[in-house]
């Protein structure tokens, strides 16, 4: 079983939309890998209001460090945090799956 990091934009999404997209991406990853995955919980609620984006990114990179594989939301190129996660995964040799 591989540990899966899901990179998805969350700005403007409801909690239900975020959850549903995460479930969908986990299923896509399992189909591509042909094995079960353990999803790393990276959807934070109640983040600090000051420098929120930077705080979220720092936590995301911390969790990325324990991932075996990453899956990117199909809109990843349009969001700074997702682009940074993609670049870090690529630079550090973590396999990347696309939606």
What are the residue boundaries of the structural domains of the chain, listed by start? 2-98
Instruction: Name the fold adopted by 2-98.
Output: Rossmann fold (3.40.50)
Is residue 36 helix, strand or coil? coil
What's the pLDDT score for residue 51? 76
pLDDT surpasses 90 at 13: no
Closest of 85, 50, 83, 49 to residue 67, by C-alpha? 85
Threshold 0.85, pTM exceeds = yes
Closest of 57, 55, 4 to residue 31, by C-alpha? 4
pLDDT tens per residue, range 42-61: 877 666 667 778 888 899 99
Closest of 62, 65, 60, 63 to residue 83, by C-alpha? 60
pLDDT tens per residue, range 14-47: 889 989 999 999 999 999 999 999 999 987 766 6
């Amino acid at each position: 079983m591989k540990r899966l990091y899901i990179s998805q934009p969350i700005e403007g999404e409801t909690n239900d939309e975020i959850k549903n997209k995460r479930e969908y991406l986990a299923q896509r990853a399992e189909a591509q890998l042909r094995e079960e995955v353990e999803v790393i919980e990276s959807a934070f609620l109640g983040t600090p209001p000051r420098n929120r984006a930077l705080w979220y990114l720092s936590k995301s990179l911390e969790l990325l460090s324990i991932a075996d594989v990453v899956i990117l939301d199909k809109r990843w190129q349009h969001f700074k945090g997702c682009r940074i996660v993609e670049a870090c995964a690529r630079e550090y040799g973590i396999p990347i799956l696309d939606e």
